A = this chain, B = another copy of it.
Amino acid sequence: METDVTTELYPRERVGLVREATAKAGLGAVLLTPGPDLRYVTGYDAKQLERLTCLVVPADGEPFLVVPRLELPAAQESPAGSLGLELVPWDETDDPYALVADRLPRDVGTVGLADRMWAVMALRFRGAMPGAEQTAAGAVLRELRMRKSAAEVAALREAGEAIDRVHRLVPGLLKAGRTEREVGRDIADAIIAEGHAQVDFVIVGSGPNGANPHAELSDRVIRPGEPVVVDIGGTMPSGYCSDSTRNYCVGEPPADYQAYFAVLLEAQRASCEAVRPGATPEAVDAAGRDIIAAAGHGEHFFHRTGHGIGLESHEEPYIVAGNREPLEPGMAFSIEPGIYPGPHGARIEDIVVCTEDGYEPMNTTERGLVVVD
Q: Which residues on B sit within 8 Å (CB–CB) of A216?
A: 74, 77
Question: How far is the CB of A307 from the nearest CB of chain B, in Å?
Answer: 8
Whether B93 and A322, one on each chain, are in contact in the complex, defined by CB atoms closer than 8 angstroms, is yes
Q: Which of A197-251 contact B (CB under 8 A)?
A: 212-216
Contact of A123 among B113, B307, B315, B320 (CB under 8 A): B113
Contact of A119 among B70, B115, B320 (CB under 8 A): B115
Q: Considering the complex, give the chain B residue whose CB is closest to the CB of A92.
A: B304
Q: Please, how many angstroms separate the alpha-carbon atoms of A314 and B212 in the complex?
A: 35
Q: Which residues on B sit within 8 Å (CB–CB) of A70?
A: 213-214, 302-303
Whether B136 and A119, one on each chain, are in contact in the complex, defined by CB atoms closer than 8 angstroms, is yes
Is residue A286 contacting chain B, with contact meaning CB distance below 8 A?
Answer: no
Is residue A294 contacting chain B, with contact meaning CB distance below 8 A?
Answer: no
Interface string of A286-311 (1 = CB under 8 A from B): 00000000000000001110010000
Q: Which residues on B sit within 8 Å (CB–CB) of A215?
A: 73
Tell me how many residues of A have a C-beta within 8 Å of chain B. Answer: 40
Question: How far is the CB of A310 from the nearest CB of chain B, in Å?
Answer: 13
Q: Please, how many angstroms separate the alpha-carbon atoms of A172 and B373 in the complex?
A: 43
Q: Which of A44-101 contact B (CB under 8 A)?
A: 49-50, 69-71, 73-74, 77, 91-93
Q: Considering the complex, give the chain B residue whose CB is closest to the CB of A304.
A: B92
Question: How far is the CB of A43 from the nearest CB of chain B, in Å?
Answer: 14
Q: Considering the complex, give the chain B residue whose CB is closest to the CB of A216.
A: B74
Is residue A355 contacting chain B, with contact meaning CB distance below 8 A?
Answer: no
Q: Which residues on B sit within 8 Å (CB–CB) of A119?
A: 113-119, 121-122, 134, 136
Q: Which residues on B sit within 8 Å (CB–CB) of A320?
A: 92-93
Q: Please, how many angstroms separate the alpha-carbon atoms of A304 and B121 in the complex?
A: 20
Q: Which residues of A contact B (CB under 8 A)?
A: 49-50, 69-71, 73-74, 77, 91-93, 113-123, 134-136, 138, 212-216, 302-304, 307, 314-315, 320-322
Return the 10 tightest CB-CB contacts between A and B, nearest first: A115-B120, A117-B119, A113-B119, A119-B122, A120-B136, A73-B212, A116-B118, A70-B214, A92-B304, A50-B314
